[in-house]
Amino acid sequence: MILTVTPNPSLDRTYEVPALGRGEVVRATGERVDPGGKGVNVSRAVAAAGRRTVAVLPLGGAPGALVAELLAAQGIEVAPVPVAGATRSNISVAEPDGTLTKINAPGPDLSAAEAELLLETVRRVHRPGDTCWITCCGSLPRGLAPSWYAELVARAHAVGARIALDTSGPALLAALRERPDVVKPNAEELAAAVGRPLVTVGDAVKAAEELRAMGAGAVLASLGADGQVLVDAAGTWFGSARVDTVRSNVGAGDSSLAGFLIAGGGGPRALASAVAHGAAAVQLPGSVMPGPADLAPDAVTVTTEIPESRPLTEPAS
């Protein structure tokens, strides 16, 4: 079982439009409403693969009730933490060329009691021998200090759990001191963590090595259209996949992390699964998570020959 923790979940509305014009009336050609948040998306991808998952998340108001309802409809067990504030609602606008415009709300302001209840719920739901991974994902809502993830990692390790962490900024740097087993930054988050731009694949590899020196057991770095890099104690691998059409990249990184954990959470086989899941996700509308029928493992290449001088399609500043 994979347990996910999403401190700042959302209700996500995605609109597909022919083109986005500022100040104009734009008529959507497609619309989706999905439960959102990085950890929620990991749970959705795990469930789509036919595996058991439990989602721990604070929920409040009508949007929170709808998030719980949508998750249950997808076969995901929900361990809700009631909060006074309403769960945030986010909007994404997807254009045919793959351009995605996102409007993310800040979310509720959690009290100290609600923050502690969230930690306690993770402890209560975790079952040694049954929980394969605790996956902590996304931004922290107002009211939670940057050290909150570090506290969660420390408590999880104290009961023998393995932690996969997908966050950024001060929360990531604080958590590294508690040695999470896997961290999954994208290129921008990786650049921010090491404090310098990343221009090539080699730059990303060096930055991942630095995160390992700072405490990460393994670093699974998403480089967008350029692929993914895995750096751990056993070595370094580069994975990429052929993608014909990009419809939406919402949740693609979360799908990748799910694929990585489903395949064991380490080594080239897990990297190949991560790349396949990420490539499948970007070819689906909105934040739809891929199932086994959507994967194309034959389109994935994983190698120890790192193309260090290859420029990143989107350099990270």
Q: 6 to each of 43, 161, 183, 270, how far by Cα in Å?
A: 10, 17, 15, 23
Q: Which residues contact 137 (CB under 8 A, 6 or more apart)?
A: 4, 5, 6, 37, 38, 39, 41, 42, 165, 166, 167, 254, 257
End-to-end CA distance of the chain: 37
Tell me: the pLDDT tens digits for 187-231? Answer: 999 999 999 999 999 999 999 999 999 999 999 999 999 999 999
Token reading at 3: 């347990």
Mean predicted lDDT score pLDDT of the chain: 94
Tell me: the pLDDT tens digits for 35-46? Answer: 999 999 999 999
pTM over 0.85: yes
| pLDDT confidence band for 250 (50 / 70 / 90) | confident
Q: What is the CATH number of domain 2-316?
A: 3.40.1190.20
Going from N- to C-terminal start, the domains of the chain cover 2-316
Q: Is residue 254 flagged as an active site residue?
A: yes
Number of CB atoms found within 10 A of residue 205's CB: 23
Give the active site residue among 203, 254, 294, 298.
254
